[in-house]
Amino acid sequence: MQRIEGKLGVVAKENIDGKVMFALTGKLGIMGKSYLAEAFAGEDNDSFLPTIWCMPCTEAAQCGVSSKKCNKCFRYGFIPSSTMMAQELGRVNRMLLAVPGEHGYFVYANVTSYLSLWIRAMRQPSKRVRDRHEEQLLNNTARLILPTECYHTSIEREFENPATFVDRGPCGTLCSYCTGGTKKLTGRFSRVKLIAALMSNIFDRGSVLAKKFVGFITDKTNQNKLRKQIWGDGVGVSSGNIHALVLQLLVAGMIEPFLQPEDMAGNDNIQTKHVMLRLKKRIVPGDDGDFDDFMLHNRESWSGFNCHD
């Protein structure tokens, strides 16, 4: 770790293989952030400013930090809203000159990061705000993990004026939906055997602790028995495939999180130990009256999944 001093104070830096990396966090203060934003942009001729190769950031960099030289942005965890996603997408390839495949916006997320944002939404004192934050999280996660159209078209549709919006068509090769990359998130699995596993082995007592749900599907205790049934014996299944499947079940509305005890909504003390998962139900009209059924049994709920049967 080295330190450099100048007109904007003292800033720590790391040198990795001759490349300079700075971390921008809220603790830097206004002057420190201004210094890094100016250096990251790389447009100042001041010889004191370093050339930054990589800048790990917290949300302190959400606004006003950009560089024409930035071609890759990596995010850990899901984006709470499409507005924030648009902000972060805008940091990459600002000159529109990068060669396709050499630039991109990459999201690395798992069930834990989703639950963390869901808990943050549930801590909001106002029910109206909680509902809005939960809906934004669901919609934006669905856009990434279980999309129904090109990412770019989806974002344009949301932010442009509905009265004048013109569908320009899919990008074709620049997003995971168009390239088919989203199908690889889970790999191909058996829908029938997944439903059987969920109803008979996992939710047989009604609900499960959310943070243990991925472990139930992995089923290491029984030598991966459920995983082999769902994906097939001899098929390579990564932890990422399992996390992706759980996330798709969440955004498709087949399983739902809830608090235990349920009156904790709006409480700052909500933790992962208070979050449970259960199979979501729907009301189905019948000849002898309406009846409850699980969303798992609704064929339309499985649209977009990479499954057979």
DSSP state at residue 293: E
- Which residue spans within 124-236 are E strands per DSSP? 189-190, 207-209
Q: Is the pLDDT of residue 13 over 70?
A: no
Q: What are the sequence ranges of the domains in the chain?
A: 1-69, 111-146+185-308
Q: Starting at the edge strand that comes first in sequence, how are the strands of the sheet with 255-259 ordered?
A: 207-209, 275-279, 255-259
Most confidently modeled range among 11-15, 42-46, 50-54, 105-109:
105-109
d(CA 159, CA 86): 9
pLDDT in tens, 110-146: 999 999 999 999 999 999 999 999 999 999 999 999 9
> What pLDDT sits at residue 128?
96
Residues 179-201 have a mean pLDDT of: 94
- Residue carrying structure tokens 């809220």: 26
Cβ 244 vs Cβ 185: under 8 Å: yes
Residue 1 has pLDDT above 80, yes or no: no
Is residue 74 within 8 A of residue 108, CB to CB? The reply is yes
* pLDDT value, residue 3: 44
User: pLDDT band at 273, cuts 50/70/90?
Assistant: very high
Residues of the chain with pLDDT > 70, as a percent, come to: 92
Q: For residue 9, name the pLDDT band (cuts at 50, 70, 90).
A: very low
Residue 10 has pLDDT above 70, yes or no: no
Regarding predicted confidence, which is higher, 60 or 2? 60
The chain-wide mean pLDDT, for the chain, equals 86
268 has pLDDT over 50: yes
**Cα–Cα distance between 216 and 271 in angstroms, integer?**
20
Predicted local distance difference test score (pLDDT) of residue 44: 62
Residue with more model confidence, 99 or 11? 99
Share of the chain above pLDDT 90, in %: 50
pLDDT at 147 over 90: yes
36 or 5: which leads in pLDDT: 36
The model's confidence at residue 88, banded by pLDDT at 50, 70 and 90, is confident
Q: How far is CA 8 from CA 36, 48, 52, 275, in A?
A: 10, 11, 16, 45
Question: Per-residue pLDDT for 11 more than 80?
Answer: no
Q: Which of 27-31, 253-257, 298-302 has the lowest mean pLDDT?
A: 27-31
Q: What is the pLDDT of residue 45?
A: 55
pLDDT-derived band at 46 (thresholds 50, 70, 90) equals low
Q: Which pLDDT value is given to residue 100?
A: 73
